[in-house]
Amino acid sequence: MVELNDIKSLILDIDGILYEGMNAIPGAVELIEDLNKHDTPYVLLSNNTTNTIERHVQKLNQLNMHIPPKAIITAARVAAQLIANESPPGTCCLVIGEAGLIQALQQAGLQVTQSDNGDIKYVVIGMDRQLTYEKLKIAARAIHNGAIFISTNLDPMYMDSDGIIPASGAIQAALETATGIPARMTGKPEPPGFLLAMEQLGFPACETGMLGDQIEIDIRGASRVGIHTFLVLSTLSQFTLDKPGQIIADKTFNSTLDFYHQWIQR
């Protein structure tokens, strides 16, 4: 059984661990302050593709969590890096998504479109709160015509400021049903983001812990690459616990505050 004092670096989810909507979660500010104070290596690994890195930093700062931009890895960044590694600059990507995904692809030297014009090589999807039937139609046709279908994450739902709303996984399910073609996954729970996080942290999996609130996203993904797993019970956790064949986290905490108290006592 892993102990917290064995952990030299941390990977943290953002939504459900540090904040919900526009509210900081109890214990989150104190946890980040402690990590910064003791120079503990950490990264935030989020499937949230709606916000740009700048917006993530701004929002966290507003909630009194001061985190450098380089410490934030999003599923958008992971997807953009993957496509850029296997395609020439200027490759055309049809995007269903918001500012964070669009910016990440453009910064990686890729062409972004949200229409059916151009030689579309990839269809890349993330959460899109302005989703329309027209967007789904264009994406489905591009996939049928041979574009590679990439989903930044499988998250089925998201805790917004006014409650739970459908997330990227719901859009993925619609397009997979319409085309019969499964998406290529890049965000959590797939390995690329976790491997990128460990590379940036400079510590092996045996000395790294993942703090997350979703069993099938955070915990399963981290366990695939050997990272120790710490589950925090959150609003979303109640919808995913106690399913048949479910993976078990190394440790479970009642809240972020509970984790913080045990972390500082390690």
Q: How confident is the model at residue 244 (pLDDT cuts 50, 70, 90)?
A: low
Q: How confident is the model at residue 142 (pLDDT cuts 50, 70, 90)?
A: very high
Question: Domain map of the chain by residue range?
Answer: 4-47+202-264, 76-185
Q: According to the model, what pLDDT value does residue 254 have?
A: 95
Q: How confident is the model at residue 240 (pLDDT cuts 50, 70, 90)?
A: low
Determine contact, residues 255/233, Cβ cutoff 8 Å.
yes
**What is the C-alpha separation between 112 and 124, in angstroms, rounded?**
10
Tokens (6 digits) for 41: 């290596």
User: Is the model's pLDDT at 89 over the cut of 80?
Assistant: yes
Could you name the CATH architecture of 76-185?
3-Layer(aba) Sandwich (3.40)
Mean pLDDT computed over every residue of the chain:
93
Q: According to the model, what pLDDT value does residue 243 have?
A: 62
User: Is the model's pLDDT at 237 over the cut of 70?
Assistant: no
Cα dihedral 32→198→20→218 (10° resolution) = -140
| 60-82 confidence digits (pLDDT tens) | 999 999 999 999 999 999 999 99
| 167-207 confidence digits (pLDDT tens) | 999 999 999 999 999 999 999 999 999 999 999 999 999 99
Please state the pTM of the whole predicted model. Answer: 0.88
Supply the CATH classification number for the domain 4-47+202-264.
Answer: 3.40.50.1000
